[in-house]
Amino acid sequence: MDNAFPHVTSSRISHLRNGWTGHVLALLAGAAFPAGLAPLDWWWVIVLSAAGLLWLLKDLSPKQAAARAWWYGFGFWGTGVSWVYVSIHYFGGTNLPLSVLLTGAFIGFLALFHALQGYLFSALKLQRFQVVGFPALWVLMEWMRTWFLSGFPWLFAGYGFIDTPLRTLAPISGVMALSFIAVLIAAMLVEFLRLRGGYRLLPVLVVVAIYGGALSLQKYSWTYPDLKDPLKVSIVQGNIAQQLKWDPEQRDNIIHTYTSMTIPLWGETDLVIWPEAAIPVFFSDALPLIEYMDLQAKENGAAFIAGVPFWEPSSTSGRIIFHNSVFSAGQGSGIYHKQKLVPFGEYVPLENWIRGAIPFFDLPMSSFTAGSSNQQPLKAKGFLLAPYICYEIVYPELVRTLGIRSDVLLTISNDAWFGHSLGPLQHFEMARMRALEMGRYLIRSTNTGISAIVDHHGKVVSRLPSFEPGVLTGEVYRTVGTTPYARWGDWPLLTMCAALFLLAGAFGWVSKPKRAQTRLDS
């Protein structure tokens, strides 16, 4: 009976897209998206979520599509970066109502990226060629988030596929290539539901071909480890509560925690690593400690790496500037100043206007200056380590630029800011993707977790439990070879997406919609 009246059922389903009902569905579809990422990693939810947005954008004006996509984005970010509330309220000293307001404002701002996506999709009539136009536009919007207003490249669709057969495409074209494939599959799902008869086989064949191609690459490795020359590393996870981190009365206890956990390691390891800002005083004030650790490391044939705040006179203005830094000592050398600073956490935009307005805008160590873009890798026992502090590891191009000149990737962080939220788990998944893209081993040292060693395929070799003090010791290796992504970066993919986007837009404007096909959609 259902097949006898397809237009009745289709029209009822289509009615769900109208008005506020469609907005609510978009909000729910966006809110579901992060379930495809860590910790659940239900990758199929990403496909369904993107397919839901595509279906909900059908036949809308540019203004309507922008509003619809904004609601999708509000759900998307509302669940995906809910950990922002934890940072603002619990560790930023901001009261509950204002914390909710600030979190909502941040989420609403990020949702504007989706609103722009919806507007362009409708205005350029990409619906007529949505199979290529929609995934190309999605990737271009993800790329925009890597640089616009210093960037916030979080929640890329491709991260959800790091443990699926599609992962083999990451060393070739990066995480955004996985995003393109994920959203392409979503568009194919919409096409499957739209088409009738034998035409339904076409999207199925495309998806099968994609997975078949990815599976065929599983036994191929672009890089391989040089097993003759391992570096034995020991990661010290102090598990210092964020409330105590910058308390002057706790400095001696914090330093004692790290030094006492390190003493048994001398003579047993090649490299000792402390996490971001493990030393809770400026480099110049910590010189007695640093000289002691330098001497201990040299006497035991080891290198020592730690995070520390740093100050120096500006080369231009002469005023004092501050950096979030990491240095190498002992049988190692070099210092790196963080380039990508966290807004409000490490610097305050419009500082002269809003500093002191609320406690969150006056956090300890929130006046840092970004380091230069031409810094060198750290050296440790003959290895070159590409250092990234905190969320720098989520910037694919930043990691690639320094990583291609290094033997091993190193990231240090303090994820205590996010508590027991989704943040640390998402952060770790993104770090794993960088190892896969670059074909390099990754060392991750954090204050409260997740501290881990990841191999050149993005697989976790070993890790420490979160929110527990501990030491993780293991081996990392130089890798021989270079991945296509390490060599070429995102530009081949972005060029393809830009071409598809422009072609879909051009053909959308010059072609006429097929009435018969439209009736099947309605």
Please, what is the end-to-end C-alpha distance for the chain in angstroms?
A: 19
What are the residues facing 387 on neighbouring strands? 410
Phi, psi of 156 (to 5 degrees): -70, 140
Which among 338, 381, 429, 497 is annotated as catalytic? 338
- The answer to whether 479 and 225 have CB atoms below 8 angstroms apart is yes
**Measuring CA to CA, how many Å separate 236 from each of 21, 48, 282, 290, 471?**
51, 41, 20, 16, 5
What are the residues facing 335 on neighbouring strands? 327
**Measuring CA to CA, how many Å separate 517 from each of 21, 23, 55, 61, 327?**
24, 25, 15, 19, 63
Q: Which amino acid is at 323?
A: H
Q: 191 catalytic, yes or no? A: no
Count of CA atoms in the C-beta half-sphere (13 A) of 393: 30
Any idea what the Cα angle at residue 140 is, between residues 136 and 142, rounded to 5°? 115
CA–CA gap between residue 95 and residue 87 (Å, rounded):
12
* SS3 state of residue 328: strand
Q: 390 catalytic, yes or no? A: yes
Question: Residue 61 is encoded by which pair of tokens?
Answer: 């004006």
CA–CA gap between residue 521 and residue 282 (Å, rounded):
63
What interhelical angle do 43-56 and 130-144 show, nearest 10? Answer: 110
CA–CA gap between residue 312 and residue 291 (Å, rounded):
19
Q: Across the chain, which distance is largest between two alpha carbons, in Å?
A: 85
Which among 276, 346, 429, 437 is annotated as catalytic? 276
Count of CA atoms in the C-beta half-sphere (13 A) of 68: 29
**Measuring CA to CA, how many Å separate 53 from each of 120, 190, 287?**
14, 10, 55
- The answer to whether 328 and 380 have CB atoms below 8 angstroms apart is yes
Tokens 């369904």 -> residue = 48
Q: DSSP letters along 117-163, please? A: HHHHHHHTTGGGGHHHHHHHHHHHHHHHTTTGGG------GGGGGTT
Question: Residue 221 is encoded by which pair of tokens?
Answer: 């490795």
CA–CA gap between residue 341 and residue 276 (Å, rounded):
13
Q: Which residues are catalytic?
A: 276, 338, 390
